């Protein structure tokens, strides 16, 4: 027993580099779904400029950061709360609102489950089926909502890449509104969707006060190391609950500096959307050429892949690829998946080709 806890998530290049005695920089990380452009140049500049200011505590109200988000999404300042990554807000949602039960469509990001359980909230699962390409049907979901006090929608969903149109979210929201069911919509990957407005639920907040939309800088703005997320809601109940449980200064000043500048970096935003759109298509096509692989179509910056050859497991494939300098996400520990599934991030052309080559070398087309 020790304080160390290996992550069950993607992105743990440290463990891999320790285990395989390779340098972290020599591993191309397809296991975490991060913008391949890295930090925005304006964000980088602002962080360096504000380094000396870290001798002060962060503004406990994070006004400048919240103003930047307010401008970026055209939402009122007072509807925005910032967090130490989206993770902090997910945990705060369950800890402060204490729903007795929550419906979670699976497979999905595992922290909803953990956050709910730690807050004493019972979890009920709604299985997204492989035969439906893991697509969520709002009608089916609604039939399973009876009796729960909250529902989580990850949109686009991790690890499946499927997206629920705003129209269907609205149908679910109507049902939830009538029955006072809280809705947590995690849009950590929504900026990667080609037509963002097709999915983004921010526009629904005015009509549905039982809803919080959570977003992250982590993925699209490429700063998982710096920890920055935010939530938007018009619900006084949700605002007051989260605020009363929030720890002071949870967002560090450098992440705030990066976020403020990144939201204004229009060139970076445009370039990021474009590279993911092009490379997602390319990587999907290339992966489809392997007879032993089945990639699922995706709206996000990652692709879920099924290994059709029963002789090879996702964990074995992950191990096999590491010596080629490629780290994939073994997706077998997602509830609702098994050891035939892995997930890869969409990266830039050079990296994506490295993945395709490694897959060819380790197993053949």
The interface with a second copy within residues 185-244 (CB under 8 A) comprises: 222-227, 236, 239-240, 242-244
| Binders of a second copy in range 288-307 (CB under 8 A) | none
Residue of 309, 281, 314, 181 whose CA lies nearest to 237: 181
| Distance (Å) of CA 100 to CA 122, 181, 210, 358 | 6, 11, 16, 47
Select from 42, 58, 70, 138 the one that contacts a second copy (CB under 8 A).
58
100 is a contact residue toward a second copy (CB under 8 A):
no
70 is a contact residue toward a second copy (CB under 8 A):
no
Half-sphere exposure of 20 (CA within 13 A, CB side): 22
Q: Give the separation between CA 175 and CA 315, rounded to whole angstroms.
A: 40
Residue of 203, 130, 114, 139 whose CA lies nearest to 162: 130
State yes or no: cis peptide before 159, omega within 30 of 0: yes
| Binders of a second copy in range 247-276 (CB under 8 A) | 247-250, 252-255, 258
Size of the site for a second copy (CB under 8 A): 73
5 is a contact residue toward a second copy (CB under 8 A):
yes
Select from 6, 74, 167, 180 the one that contacts a second copy (CB under 8 A).
6
Select from 53, 127, 357, 365 the one that contacts a second copy (CB under 8 A).
53
Nearest residue (CB) to a second copy, 67 versus 363? 67
Q: Give the separation between CA 16 and CA 2, rounded to whole angstroms.
A: 19
Nearest residue (CB) to a second copy, 193 versus 254? 254
Select from 28, 35, 346, 355 the one that contacts a second copy (CB under 8 A).
35
74 is a contact residue toward a second copy (CB under 8 A):
no
Residue 327 Cβ vs a second copy, minimum distance, rounded to whole Å: 11
| Binders of a second copy in range 135-154 (CB under 8 A) | none
User: Do the strands 329-330 and 341-345 form a parallel or antiparallel pair, or are they unpaired?
Assistant: antiparallel
| Binders of a second copy in range 322-361 (CB under 8 A) | none
Residue of 231, 250, 239, 172 whose CA lies nearest to 207: 172
Q: 3-class DSSP state for residue 316?
A: helix
Select from 215, 246, 280, 318 the one that contacts a second copy (CB under 8 A).
246
Q: Give the separation between CA 87 and CA 228, rounded to whole angstroms.
A: 9
Residue 38 Cβ vs a second copy, minimum distance, rounded to whole Å: 4
């Amino acid at each position: 027993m020790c304080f160390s806890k290996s992550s069950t998530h993607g992105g743990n290049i440290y463990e891999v580099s320790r285990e395989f005695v390779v340098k972290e920089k020599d591993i191309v990380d397809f296991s975490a779904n991060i913008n391949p452009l890295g930090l925005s140049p304006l964000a980088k500049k602002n962080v360096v400029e504000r380094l000396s200011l870290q001798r002060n505590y962060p503004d406990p109200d994070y006004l400048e950061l919240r103003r930047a988000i307010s401008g970026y999404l055209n939402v009122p300042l007072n509807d925005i709360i910032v967090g130490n990554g989206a993770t902090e807000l997910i945990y705060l949602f369950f800890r402060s609102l204490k729903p007795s039960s929550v419906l979670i469509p699976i497979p999905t990001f595992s922290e909803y489950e953990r956050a709910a359980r730690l807050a004493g909230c019972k979890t009920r699962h709604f299985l997204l089926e492989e035969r439906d390409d893991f697509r969520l049907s709002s009608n089916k979901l609604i039939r399973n909502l009876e009796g729960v006090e909250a529902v989580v929608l990850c949109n686009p969903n991790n690890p499946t890449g499927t997206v629920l149109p705003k129209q269907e979210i609205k149908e679910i929201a109507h049902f939830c509104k009538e029955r006072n069911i809280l809705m947590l919509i995690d849009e950590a990957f929504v900026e990667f969707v080609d037509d963002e407005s097709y999915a983004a639920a921010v526009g629904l907040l005015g009509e549905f006060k039982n809803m919080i939309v959570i977003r992250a800088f982590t993925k699209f703005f490429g700063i998982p190391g710096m920890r920055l997320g935010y939530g938007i809601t018009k619900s006084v109940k949700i605002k007051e609950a989260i605020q009363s449980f929030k720890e002071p200064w949870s967002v560090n000043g450098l992440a705030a500096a990066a976020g403020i500048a990144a939201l204004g970096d229009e060139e970076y935003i445009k370039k990021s959307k474009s590279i993911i759109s092009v490379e997602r298509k390319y990587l999907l096509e290339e992966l489809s050429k392997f007879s032993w692989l089945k990639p699922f179509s995706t709206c996000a910056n990652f692709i879920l892949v099924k290994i059709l050859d029963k002789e090879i497991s996702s964990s074995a494939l992950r191990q096999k690829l590491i010596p080629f300098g490629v780290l994939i996400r073994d997706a077998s520990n997602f509830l609702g998946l098994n050891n035939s599934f892995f997930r890869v991030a969409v990266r830039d052309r050079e990296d994506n080709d490295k993945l395709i080559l490694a897959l060819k070398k380790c197993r053949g087309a």
